[in-house]
Amino acid sequence: MANTEHRPAAAPETLLCVRRTLEWDDEALVEAGLRADFRPKVDAWNATFDLPYRSFRHRLKQIAQTSLARVENAACARLDDLAPVAIVVPVDDDVGMMSELMGRIGIQ
Domain boundaries, the chain: 14-104
Q: What does the pLDDT look like over 31-77, one tens digit per residue?
A: 999 999 999 999 999 999 999 999 999 999 898 888 888 877 777 88
Residue 42 zone, left/alpha/beta (φ > 0; ψ -120 to 50; rest):
alpha
CA distances from 42 to 9, 29, 48, 104 (A): 43, 14, 10, 35
- 56 Cβ partners below 8 Å, 6+ apart? 45, 49
- Quick one: pLDDT band at residue 7, thresholds 50, 70, 90? very low
